[in-house]
Amino acid sequence: MSKKIVIYPIIGVLAIGILFLKYTDYKEKGLDSLFVQYSEDFKSIAFEAYDNNKSIPDDKAVIDELTEFLSHYQVMKIKHAEWDTAVSREKGVWIDIQSENKLLTILFLEKHVHMPGFGYYKVINGPIDIDWIQSFQEKHRQ
């Protein structure tokens, strides 16, 4: 009898904790918050558009400028099944952020964001200005 009294509250606390983690994972958040921890020990950033152009600036101010731009967008995590097949018609750009010992790859599309290993996101207040990102890339090309 006393074992049940102890087990049920523990199961309840664990269930609430898991639900809270799922809730925070799928709630609306700033686009920059997805990768801000990588910008702390930033080493380099690489851009790759669909036309395979690439540049690799290594100035911390570059990622700060990009983070400031992306902070204006809100995203919400979506399930893989919701990843619309129409994204193939959206303009986009790949960005690799290299930190001290991590590499984060992000696909920015006009209305969606994909971070392999982390999930799929829908842009709430978009579309993302991909032309700005491409001109930003040209500006910082090495």
Q: What is the pLDDT along the chain (142 residues), one digit of tens a residue?
A: 566 777 877 887 787 877 777 766 677 888 877 776 666 666 667 776 544 555 555 677 777 888 889 889 999 888 888 776 667 778 888 888 777 777 788 888 899 999 888 889 999 997 999 899 888 887 876 5
> Quick one: pLDDT at residue 134?
83
Q: Can you tell me the distance from the alpha carbon of 28 to that of 55, in angstroms, rounded to the nearest whole number? A: 31
Q: Where are the alpha helices (DSSP H) in 1-142?
A: 2-26, 36-40, 60-70, 130-139
> Quick one: pLDDT at residue 129?
92
> Quick one: pLDDT at residue 15?
79
Angle subtended by helix axes 60-70 and 130-139, to nearest 10: 170
Q: Can you tell me the distance from the alpha carbon of 124 to that of 45, in angstroms, rounded to the nearest whole number? A: 25
- Tokens matching residue 122: 């829908």
Sorted by sequence, the CB contacts under 8 Å of residue 15 that are 6+ apart come out as: none
- For residue 101, which phi and psi values (nearest 5 degrees)? -140, 25
> Quick one: pLDDT at residue 73?
93
> Quick one: pLDDT at residue 40?
64
* pTM (predicted TM-score): 0.74
> Quick one: pLDDT at residue 41?
66
> Quick one: pLDDT at residue 56?
59
- For residue 91, which phi and psi values (nearest 5 degrees)? -70, 150
Task: Write the CATH number of the domain with boundaries 29-139.
Answer: 2.60.40
> Quick one: pLDDT at residue 1?
54
Tell me if the bond preceding 127 is cis, omega within 30° of 0: yes
Q: Can you tell me the distance from the alpha carbon of 137 to that of 93, in angstroms, rounded to the nearest whole number? A: 10
- Tokens matching residue 135: 């001109």
